[in-house]
Structure 1
Amino acid sequence: MNGFIALPDPPTRRYTAARMTDWIEKYLAAQAAAHAALPADTVVRFVELLKAALREDRQIFVFGNGGSAANAAHFATDLGKGASDRLPRRFRVWALTDNLSWLTALANDYSYEEVFVRPLQNLARTGDVAIGISVSGNSPNCVRALEWARNNGLRTVALVGGAPCRMAELAELVLAVPDTHYGRVEDVHMTFLHLACYAFIEHPEWAGPFPPS
């Protein structure tokens, strides 16, 4: 004997698999509804914005926190490598989340609200593109970066959730997913970003002829 007494499962644990299956089915149904609400015309406008940035040799900056930071880095990879490998000119894209030394120095010496706007002040020029990603749409560091970008002549994009938010008020182009569940909204944001990248990967001709260098 090991000194422990085996107790029967309480009634609330006997049907865990059935309850889990029900929860999964409901989650997937809500996920499908969120994806179905993704407007194709907004994707087209975003692709056209990226196309203009490519043709004009503009810099594209993308940023967010947490899962949105991961989406920003993923997008920069897909656009900077996958899409660029298929085109005669390469996208100049950078996720502002990806220089850990600079980001933490800014957070430590100023505040976390400054971690995205300060690199923009160093590097961004009129006509460049700033893409902010935030489910709440009110993350102070993203709001501050988009405010600076708009005030300094950058083209601005906000990927947000369904609640009213400051980033949606600031941006030229807005994707507002009609949901507030963080996992679902982040998944739809990544689908939106994937669609834009794969538009160039699978149809590089859509970038059009490039002007002479």
Structure 2
Amino acid sequence: MVSEELYDHQNLIKKVIDLLTADIEAGCELFTSTILSGNKILLAGNGGSAADSQHIAAELSGRFVKDRKALPAVALTTDTSAITAIANDHGYEYVFSRQLEALALPGDLFVGISTSGNSPGILKAFESAKEFGCKTLGLSGRDGGKMNGLCDLNIIVPSNVTARIQEMHILIGHIFCKAVDDLF
């Protein structure tokens, strides 16, 4: 069982290298240009994707590999008071878009993470991010879902297995963080 899981992961990495290298490089450009222009990166997801958004934000505001200045990155998944108030008063699908309305500025980058590409709150957040002049980057899987029509760039992990998609999302997130580290 262990070997089977590891080989499954290895095979997906090979597909990602073959199919997504150019898209990941474009995502690195979105991250680095956002930071270089003095803007911030805002991230969101649900469940495991929420954890990934927090992980990536922490690597940027804290440190990834090298010591450098703290960088402006915010996971919209961490403020339970805002999330529960917005969900209660407006509906769960608005928990990220309302926070974007409060925090996003033109030129910021919104990163929405959804293994299916169809999470209603993430879709609503992409619509809002565009309205507020943000660049948009999706991390999805399967066929990319409805995120395909809402992102400047949607990096679609070629798998239908949620665990494999999430593993690739955090690997890709680390590559983005490495590109940002290389600026300093």
Superposition TM-score, scaled by structure 1 size? 0.79
Aligned match for 1:67, one of 48, 72, 88? 48
Alignment-derived partner of residue 156 in structure 1: 136
Alignment-derived partner of residue 42 in structure 1: 23
Cα distance, 1:83 vs structure 2: 4.4
Q: Which moved more, 1:159-168 or 1:125-134?
A: 159-168
CA contact 1:57–1:91 (8 Å) conserved in 2: no
Q: Indicate the percent of aligned positions where both proteins have the same amino acid.
A: 32
What is the rounded CA distance, in whole Å, between the counterparts of 1:155 and 1:47 in structure 2? 13
Aligned match for 1:30, one of 5, 8, 18? 8
Cα distance, 1:126 vs structure 2: 1.3
CA contact 1:62–1:94 (8 Å) conserved in 2: yes
Q: 1:85 to 1:161 in 2, by over 3 A?
A: same
AA of the residue aligned to 1:34? L
Alignment-derived partner of residue 6 in structure 1: none
RMSD over aligned Cα, in angstroms? 1.7
SS at match of 2:176: helix
Structure 1 gaps of 5+ residues are 1-22, 209-213
SS at match of 1:115: helix
What is the rounded CA distance, in whole Å, between the counterparts of 2:55 and 2:9 in structure 1? 20
CA contact 1:158–1:167 (8 Å) conserved in 2: yes
What is the rounded CA distance, in whole Å, between the counterparts of 1:133 and 1:186 in structure 2? 9
Whichever of the two has the greater Rg, that structure is 1
1:195 aligns with 2:175: yes
CA contact 1:86–1:200 (8 Å) conserved in 2: no
Cα distance, 1:86 vs structure 2: 3.6
CA contact 1:160–1:168 (8 Å) conserved in 2: no
Alignment-derived partner of residue 109 in structure 1: 89
Q: 1:55 to 1:187 in 2, by over 3 A?
A: same
1:60-139 superposed matches below 5 A: 60-83=41-64, 86-87=67-68, 90-139=70-119
Cα distance, 1:42 vs structure 2: 2.0
Alignment-derived partner of residue 17 in structure 1: none
Superposition TM-score, scaled by structure 2 size? 0.91
Q: Which moved more, 1:183-192 or 1:144-153?
A: 144-153
Structure 2 gaps of 5+ residues are none
Alignment-derived partner of residue 154 in structure 2: 174
1:25-56 superposed Cα distances (whole Å, 9 cap, x missing partner): 33222211222222222222122111111111
